[in-house]
Structure 1
Amino acid sequence: MKNINIGIIGVGVVGSATVLLLEQNKDIISARAGANLIVKKGVVRDMSKTDKNIKIPLSNDINDILEDDDIDVVVELMGGVDVAFEVAKKALSKKKAFVTANKAMLAYHRYDLQKIALDTPIGFEASVAGGIPIIKALRDGLSANHITSIRGILNGTCNYILTKMTNQDISFNECLKEAKELGYAESNPELDINGMDSAHKLLILASIAYGVNAMPQDILIEGISDINQDDIFFANEFGYTIKLLAIAKKIGNEVELRVHLAMINKDEMISKISGVMNGVSVIGDKVGETMYYGAGAGGNATASSVVSDLIEIARDSYSPMLGFKQPLESGLKIKPISKIESRYYIRINVLDKAGVLSKITSILGDNGISIKILLQKTSNNGIATLLLSTHKSNELSIQKAISNLCKLDIIHDKPYMIRIEE
C-alpha cells in the first residue's frame, strides 16, 4: 500500500484534531483511501503553545513543508487571506495537492486557485459547515440538477445566540457574553455576528451551484447585533422563527446572493436547526428539497471533512475544484441588491401622540409599500413601539422608505428591518 505524505500548516484546534484523527482511525482511513495517510510534519506560529498529544515534527517555518519534495499534500489550516493564498499558489506550483478549511481565502481566490491548479487536486470540504459534506453534495451528489435555491444556517455562534434569545427571553448582549464563556464565540466575534463568515461560505456554495464569481462586496450582507426581544415577540406571534440565513436563489438569468436575518415559518425544516448546529437546504429542479444537518464547527467535525478530502485525493478520484470543466450556464449574473424582493418586518419607535401612524403609512405608501400586519406595544415614557409587516416589496423601496422615516421628528431612533423569507 502506498504512502501519502502530508504537511499541515496551522496545527491549532483543527490541525491537532486532524493529526489525532489520522492516527486514531488510521486502519479504517487506510482501507478507504487505499493508501497510508502519514502526517510528516506540521507548522505552528508559536512552538510554546503546541498540543502535548501531537507527536509529529513541528516548526514555525512554512517553507519546511513547501520546500520538502517528499510532501505530497499541503493542508492549510492557518486562516487569513493573503498569506494563505500565497501558500496555496506555491504548493500548487510544486504540484502538491492542496487541502484547506479557509473560507475567507476561498471567498476571494477560489477561481484563481482553480486556474492555477490545472490537474492538481484541491480539497475544501471543511471550508463550509464544518463536518457537513455539503461541498460534495452540491458538486457530486446533486450534479444532475439545476439548483433552484440554497438556504443555509452556516454560523453556529449566531444560531446559538438567536436560539437562546428565542427560548429564554434574554438580550443579544447577554447571549453573546454566554457564547463567549462557553467557547462558541471568539473573543472578537465580529466576523460571525456581522454576517461576513456566512457570506464567505455562501460565495463558495454559489460558485459550485451556479458557476458565478461573486465577491463579498457584490452581495447583501447584514448581521444580527441589532435584534431585540420585540422582534422575537412578533415572530412568535405570527408563527415565525428568526435565523441568520445565507440565501442563494436562481430566478431567470439572475442569482440572488444575500446573508441577513430572516423570519421563516416555524414548520420549515431549516427553522428547527437550533443551538450551535448548522443546516443547509438545497432545492434541485429534479430532486426537490434535500436537507443537510450537523456540526458546523469544532476540531473533530472540521477534521472529519479535512480527512475526507485527503481520502479522495489518495483515491485519485477527485473532481474539478468547483465541480465543472466548462461554464455551467451562460448569461447568469448577480441580481442587483436594489432589485431583491421580499416581505419585510419593521420595528419603529415613535412618539406616542396623535397623527403618527398616518405619517408613517403615508411614507410607506409613497414608496409603494403596503402594510399587512400592525401591532402597537405599550407606550413607555412617551415612546410607542410599532411592529409591522408588509406585503411584498423590494430593497430599493424599503430602504428609501426607512431613510424618509428617519427624517420625521416623531421617529425616536432608526427603524429596524428584518426580511420575511417565504
Structure 2
Amino acid sequence: MQPFRVAIAGLGTVGAETARILMTEAELLGARAGRPVELKAVSARDRSRDRGVDLSGVEWEDDAAALAARDDVDCVLELIGGSEGVAYDLVLGAIRSGKSVVTANKALIAHHGAEIAELCESHDVGLGYEAAVAGGIPIIKSVREGFSGNRIGRIYGILNGTCNYIMTVMRETGRPFEDVLADAQKLGYAEADPSFDVDGIDAAHKLAILSALAFGHHVDFKNVHVEGIRHVSPLDISFAEELGYRIKLLGIAEETGDGVQQRVHPCMVKAETPIGQVEGVFNAVVAEGSAVGTTLSYGRGAGAGPTASAVLADVIDLAACRRVPVFGLPSSKLSPGRTAPVTALSGCYYLRLMVIDRPGVLADVTAVFRDHGVSVEAMIQRARNPDEAVPLVLTTHETPETAIRTSLEELVKLDAVLEEPRLIRIEEF
C-alpha cells in the first residue's frame, strides 16, 4: 500500500520527539494507520544540533515553506508555533498544495481557525490539531466526536500547566508568585518571557478552540475575557484554604441566555472537587453533556512526549483516511456566535481588602455593599495594632458581576482602603 509521507517543520522538543517516534515505532504506527507512515523531510534552523534522533536518512529543507511544495509529502506537521509568520504561511501553503496538516499551534487555530477550516474544505484536505489543547489529553477528539450525540452546556478546565504548577507550589510553600515563577523557568515549565502563560493568553487560545467545538460557532478569541495570575498572593491562597477552597486558573465556556460566555481567570473551587485536586503541571477538562452527563479528562498538558503523542494520533487518523470537519461541522454550518460578556455573569465572589484597623471601617465597607445590593455570606477579619493595615476578607452570596464591579469602584475611594482590592470569582462545580 502507498505509504503516508510526512514532513516536520520545527525540531524543538516536540518536533524531535515526534521524529524519534516516527523513526523507532514505524511498524506500530503503520499497523495502526493501515499503511506505512514515513518521515520524508524536515526543516529546522540548526542542522548540527544533537536532538537525540538519527535524521541522517531524512532530507532537510532550510526554508520551512519548501516542505509545502514537495511532491513526495502528503502531510506537513507544523511544530514551529506562533499565530503569524512562518507557521501561518506554511500551513496555508501546504493546504493550497493539497497536503493535509497537523499542528500543535493553539495560537494559530485560535486566531485563524475559520480561515484554515474553509481552506481545508475547498482543497479537500484534513487538519489535525489535537496537540493544540491540553497536550496528551485527547480532548479535541472527545468533544468533536465522542460527544457528538450531546448538547454541551458547559466546558471548563485547567488549560495551562505552568499556572497550575505555580499555584500549587505557592499553596504548598507560601512563597510569592515571583519566586515560584523563577523556579518554573529554571525547570523549563515557563518561558523566559512567561506572559502568554501567566497572563492567561495561552489558556484563552485553548478555551476559544474548545468553545467553538462545544457550541458550534466560529472561533472567537477576541471575545474571551482574560485575566492572569500575577495578582494572586500567598495571602489569598491561605484564605482560600481557610474557607475550604483552592485557587485555579480556569477557562470556562458556557451557554447562557445571552449567548456563549468565554472567560479565563483565577477561580476559587472547593478543595475536594475533582478540578480542585488537579495539581502541578497537569491539565484537566470537564465537559457537561446532555446525554453523557459530566466527564473529566485528565493528564499532562505539555511536554515532548504528551504533545508528540497527540500529534501522532492525528497523523494516524489522516493516514487511515479518518477525517471529520475541522470544528465538527462544515464551515457553512458554524454559527457566527452570540457572545455573552463577563458583565452578564452572576455568581459568588471572594474579596480581600487591606484596610486600616480602626472603628467604623467595617461599617463603611458593608454600607457600600448594602447600597449596591451585594449580600455578604462570610467575613474574616484579622485584628492587629490600631492604624495598621490588616486584611478584611468577605465572600458573597450570588451577586451580579455588575454589582460587584460598581462596589469595587466605591470601595477604592474609602480612605481606610490602602490597596487595590483583590477579587476572585468563586465557582461551584
* CA drift at 1:411: 1.1
Correspondence 1:179-194 to 2 at 5 A: 179-194=184-199
Checking the alignment, whether the CA contact within 8 Å between 1:379 and 1:385 is kept in structure 2 is: no
Q: Which amino acid aligns with 1:233?
A: S
Change (3 A) 1:177 1:63: closer
Checking the alignment, whether the CA contact within 8 Å between 1:337 and 1:395 is kept in structure 2 is: yes
Checking the alignment, whether the CA contact within 8 Å between 1:76 and 1:101 is kept in structure 2 is: yes
Aligned-partner SS, 1:105: helix
Partners of 2:239 and 2:54 lie apart in 1 by 50
Q: Match of 2:180?
A: 175
Q: Match of 2:354?
A: 349
Q: 1:411 aligns with which of 417, 421, 428?
A: 417
Deviations 1:227-255 (A, max 9, x none): 11221122111211111111011124621
Change (3 A) 1:10 1:283: same
Aligned-partner SS, 2:45: coil
Deviates more, 1:371-380 or 1:356-365: 371-380
Deviates more, 1:161-170 or 1:198-207: 161-170
* CA drift at 1:332: 5.0
Q: Match of 1:65?
A: 67
Q: 1:78 aligns with which of 70, 80, 91?
A: 80
Partners of 2:42 and 2:116 lie apart in 1 by 23
Change (3 A) 1:142 1:253: farther
* CA drift at 1:272: 1.0
Q: Which amino acid aligns with 1:382?
A: E
Checking the alignment, whether the CA contact within 8 Å between 1:2 and 1:36 is kept in structure 2 is: yes
Correspondence 1:91-102 to 2 at 5 A: 91-102=94-105
Q: 1:263 aligns with which of 258, 262, 268?
A: 268
Partners of 1:351 and 1:17 lie apart in 2 by 56
* CA drift at 1:50: 5.2
* CA drift at 1:384: 1.3
Aligned-partner SS, 1:396: helix
Partners of 1:324 and 1:253 lie apart in 2 by 23
Q: 1:163 aligns with which of 148, 158, 168?
A: 168
* CA drift at 1:327: 6.5
Q: Which amino acid aligns with 2:75?
A: V
* CA drift at 1:326: 6.4
Partners of 1:53 and 1:7 lie apart in 2 by 15
* CA drift at 1:86: 2.0
Checking the alignment, whether the CA contact within 8 Å between 2:218 and 2:335 is kept in structure 1 is: no
* CA drift at 1:325: 2.5
Aligned-partner SS, 1:338: helix
Partners of 2:367 and 2:267 lie apart in 1 by 26
Q: Match of 2:38?
A: 38
Q: Match of 1:137?
A: 142
Structure 1 portions without partners, runs of 5+: none
* CA drift at 1:41: 1.1
Checking the alignment, whether the CA contact within 8 Å between 2:8 and 2:76 is kept in structure 1 is: yes
Deviations 1:84-122 (A, max 9, x none): 222211111111001110001111111111111112100
Q: Match of 1:384?
A: 390
User: Does residue 298 of structure 2 align to residue 293 of structure 1?
Assistant: yes
Checking the alignment, whether the CA contact within 8 Å between 1:211 and 1:327 is kept in structure 2 is: no
Checking the alignment, whether the CA contact within 8 Å between 2:199 and 2:227 is kept in structure 1 is: yes
Checking the alignment, whether the CA contact within 8 Å between 1:214 and 1:334 is kept in structure 2 is: no
Aligned-partner SS, 2:322: coil
Partners of 2:98 and 2:160 lie apart in 1 by 33
Partners of 1:297 and 1:291 lie apart in 2 by 18
Partners of 2:368 and 2:390 lie apart in 1 by 18
Partners of 1:326 and 1:155 lie apart in 2 by 28
Q: Match of 2:319?
A: 314
- Percent identical pairs in the alignment equals 39
Partners of 1:348 and 1:245 lie apart in 2 by 23
